Structure 1
Amino acid sequence: MTKAAVIILAGTESHSDLGRLVNGLEAAKEFADNAEDELELIFDGAGTQWIPELEDEDHDYHDLYQSVSNEAAACDHCAGAFGVDQAINDAGVVTIDENDGHPSIRSLVDDDYEIITF
């Protein structure tokens, strides 16, 4: 069994950011498709901006996102800081605020998760 935390930090400004997002979603899907693995998919920092975009059925990577969206969570503080908190709430994505409003990376490490950032 593998425990992986895929953290999407890439913003929405550039083509390379899109590439990082897609690579992150593909990695998350690989873990999600293996029933023995445990996956945490966290949109953090500027990465929180992707959730409203990926919720749009016309987005090129909507289906890929949907394949792992039940594993998705977002940083509570960053969702507000980047102005997407309401859209994330409307999408039903859980927000995490374990460490001063942010996800606790230390807790994930303590729980033996491999941290993979995109």
Structure 2
Amino acid sequence: MVNAAIVVLAGTESHSDTGRLVNGLEAAREFAENEDDELELIFDGAGTQWIEELEDEDHDYHDLYRSVKDEAAVCDYCASAFDADAAVEDAGIVQIDENDGHPSIRSLVSDDYEIITF
């Protein structure tokens, strides 16, 4: 069994950001498909902006996103800071605020999660 936390930090501005997002989603799907693994998929920082785009059924990576959406959470503070609150709420994704409005990376490490950032 593996505990993995995939953290998507890449914004939406560039082709390289899209590449980082896709690599993160592909890694998340690989863990999600293994029933013995535990996965946390966290959209943090500028990564919170992806929710609105990925919720669009016409987006190239919508299906990949849907395959791991149930595992997804969003940084509460960053969703607000990057004006993604409404999209996150509409998508029904959990907002995490364990550490001054942010996810607690320390808690994940304490629970033996490998932290992988994209």
Residue 21 of structure 1 corresponds to which residue in structure 2?
21
TM-score, scaled to structure 1: 1.00
- Structure 2 unmatched ranges of 5 or more: none
- Match of residue 98 from structure 1: 98
Partner residue of 1:73?
A: 73
The structure 1 segments of at least 4 consecutive aligned residues displaced by more than 4 Å after TM superposition are: none
Name the count of aligned residue pairs: 118
Structure 1 residue 19, shift from structure 2 partner: 0.1
The 5-angstrom pairing of residues 24-103 of structure 1 reads: 24-103=24-103
CA offset digits 1:29-80 (Å, max 9, x no partner)? 0000000000000000000000110000000000000000000000000000
3-state SS of the aligned residue for 1:116?
strand
Corresponding residue for 1:11? Answer: 11
Q: In structure 1, what residue type is equivalent to 2:75?
A: C
Query: Identity of aligned pairs, percent?
Result: 79
Three-state SS of the structure 1 residue aligned to 2:19 is helix
- The amino acid across from 1:72 in the alignment is A
- How many angstroms apart in 1 are the aligned matches of 2:2 and 2:84? 31
The offset of 1:86, in angstroms, is 1.2
Q: Could you list the runs of 5+ residues in structure 1 that have no partner in the other structure? A: none
The 1-side partners of 2:21 and 2:87 are apart by: 18
